[in-house]
Structure 1
Amino acid sequence: MSYDENNIFAKILKGEIPCKKIYEDDYVLSFHDINPQKKVHALVIPKGKYTDLDDFSEKASPDEIVGLLKGINIVAKKLGISVDTGKGYRTLANISEHGGQEVPHLHFHLFGGESVGKMVE
């Protein structure tokens, strides 16, 4: 999967499409999902042009990798779902066709605020 400069997350990063922002720093942007699947459903995306986790793992700088992981934790705390502030959460990254990825920009879903159920049925 090649990076599409016009994917919805690229447009959000460029400010062409609005989002309900939760958190932003030099490495990530987080916002509420427009079609939430659980009581809390947020997205965390790196600011770099990475198609998926494999692409990110191969090409991202150490600072970007740490920034993404810390960003996920910061967002979970802000949303009150982290182990420190809530009862926990699930983070999910879909990768490529068989993984169910729909947008060709790496993104992590954070689900919480209620039991998220079985991982795979």
Structure 2
Amino acid sequence: MSLDGTYDAGNIFAKILRGEAPSVRVFEDEHVFAFMDVFPQSKGHTLVIPKHSTARNLLEEAPETLGPLMAGVQRVAKAVRAALNPDGIMISQFNGAPAGQTVYHLHFHIIPRWEGTPLGRHAEGMADVEELKALAAQISAKIS
């Protein structure tokens, strides 16, 4: 899909927000919903999405939504750091298929990184749900 198009209310993140698809919740407030990526690139890979948006990508999002969204991304990233003690944290966001976007609901990836541990390929393998729940509990406990 290109950078232009129509929002599909049937995308997996929209379904998660409506409670029609399962997720492993990490954090939620009035602006954002954070949950574990079921196809993680590293231990603790977390996604943060806006709750009240039909933006497919960053270029479509209203500026008034971006402030609270980015505050949520930072809040979750700090909790990932506190819970998992990674050597670094990669925060990424893709716009359009050529850039790597596969779900067309604005979202941010928070991916902990450790020295000497290679980054996994996204969608290479589905994570164990019980493992994700344990990680989500660790991260959630560190959200301030």
Output the TM-score relative to the length of structure 1.
0.82
Q: Using the alignment, how far apart are the partners of 1:61 and 1:53 within structure 2? A: 10
Aligned to 1:78: 79
Change (3 A) 1:117 1:86: closer
Percent identical: 38
Deviation at 1:88, TM superposition (A): 3.2
Which structure's residues are more often helix, by fraction? 2
Structure 1 portions without partners, runs of 5+: none
2:39 to 29, 32, 35: 35
RMSD: 2.1
Alignment CA distance shift 1:99-1:113 (3 Å): closer
Q: 1:86 to 1:114 in 2, by over 3 A?
A: closer
Structure of higher CA gyration radius = 2
Unaligned runs of 5+ in 2: 120-144
SS in 2 for 1:40: coil
Q: TM-score, normalised by structure 2?
A: 0.70
The 2-side partners of 1:88 and 1:67 are apart by: 23
* Structure 1 residue aligned with 2:106: 106
**C-alpha distance in 1, partners of 2:97/2:77?**
27
